[in-house]
Amino acid sequence: MMILFDLDGTLCDSEPGIQRSLAWALEQSGYPVPSDSTIRSIIGPPFTIGLPRVGVRPEDVDRVIATYRERYQDVGAFENSVYPGIEDVLHELQRQGHLLAIATSKPEASAFPILDHFNLSRYFTVRAGATLDNSRSAKADVIQHALNQFTARGQQLHDAAWMIGDRHHDVEGAIRHNLRCIGVTWGYGTPEELSKAGAAAMAHQPKDLLSLLQAQPAS
């Protein structure tokens, strides 16, 4: 079975570093800092989508993102923690012989060091993320990039493939590629958001993933 995982809000609680880095970037760019709950609502999808929702003018989006990265790359990325129980799940899925991948809308330049820092890269056959120039940022495009890497390794997509994520973009991106998606409720989305987007199942704690996936045919 192929299982693709989102990163922020699914494997890692990256909110503290994102909150602090984005607040700093908005202040540096002359914008008021929104409430923590407002910032939380835009974590996950690309900031090109989220920043206009918190009042950043379209012409300033690229500048705010560049300023954000100045702090996030070296500091904010590591103001972060792996959710309890996640590594046990990854270890067990790998032991069972499943093919695991990362498919995140976070730029690879930030995502890969985080995976390495927390010693999570060892669980993933494929790692796919966004590009810094936004040529690949939508979740559907990131999923396609992950699937292409599997194909290049001679591993073909099959009916048992799943996406695991915490926001509606994860669900919608999965559906674009005829993948089913398990929505996780410990991240930054809500059960209502995930259900409305078409999540095939819901996990309320990491160990739920094992029972949900075990009910599927093996690859």
- The question of whether 159 is a catalytic residue gets the answer no
Strand partners, 164: 5, 182
Q: Angle at the Cα of 75 (from 74 to 78), degrees rounded to 5?
A: 105
Joined together, the tokens standing for residue 113 give: 């060091």
Burial call 15-34: b when 16+ CB within 10 Å, e when fewer: bebbbbbbbbbbeebebeeb
Catalytic residue among 6, 13, 141, 208: 6
Name the H helices within 73-105: 86-95
Radius of gyration of the chain (CA): 17
Strand partners, 202: 183
Strand partners, 2: 99
Q: Angle at the Cα of 112 (from 111 to 114), degrees rounded to 5?
A: 65
Coil, strand, or helix at residue 119? coil
Residue pair 126/101 in contact (Cβ under 8 Å)? The answer is yes
Residue pair 44/86 in contact (Cβ under 8 Å)? The answer is no
Joined together, the tokens standing for residue 14 give: 């990256």
What amino acid positions are annotated as catalytic residues?
Answer: 6
